[in-house]
Amino acid sequence: MVKAEVELEIPFHDVDVMRIAWHGHYAKYLEIARCALLEQIDYNVPQMEASGYAWPVIDMRIRYAQPLHFQQRICVEAQLVEWENRLKVEYQIKDANTGRRLTKAYTVQVAVDTGSGEMLYASPPVLLSKLGLEP
C-alpha cells in the first residue's frame, strides 16, 4: 500500500475565537497529505494533467472525533486503499506528540478525460503503471 504522512502545525489564521480549527480547513490538511502520497508514485496534479486526466474529488467524509487547536502539531496520514475504478484515500489525523487519533476521513476521486470531459469507469493504464501494476 502507498502511504504518506505529513506533520503540520495549526496556524492562527485557521482557528476561530475559541482557538479551534474551523472544520472547513480539514479538507486543506487532507489535501496536503494526499499530494505527498501522490508524489510518492510520481502522479501528482502536474503528472495527472500531462497524462490527459483530471481527478476531481466526488466524495469526502470526515469524522471529527476531537478538535484541533491553535499551535497543535498534527500528523496527517494518507493511505491509498482503492485504485481499480477510482482513487480512494483514507486519512487519519493524530496529535503529533501523543499519537492520539483526532480525526479520520476519506476521499474518492475519479478519472475524467480532459479532452472529452468524460468520466472513466476504470482507472486509466497510466495510474496502474505508476503503481507498478502494469495493465
Cα(112)–Cα(38) distance, rounded to whole angstroms? 17
Helix, strand, coil percentages (3-state) for the chain, rounded to 5, are 25, 40, 35
Domain-embedded: residue 30: yes
Position 127 pLDDT exceeds 70: yes
Q: What is the mean pLDDT of residues 130-134?
A: 89
- Tally of domains within the chain: 1
Which band of pLDDT confidence, cut at 50, 70 and 90, is reported for residue 110? very high
* The predicted structure's pLDDT at residue 135: 58
Contact 51, 124 (CB under 8 A): yes
Residue that wins the pLDDT comparison between 1 and 13? 13
CATH code of the domain covering residue 113: 3.10.129.10
Neighbour-count burial of 63, counting CB atoms closer than 10 A to its CB (0-12 exposed, 13-18 middle, 19+ buried)? exposed
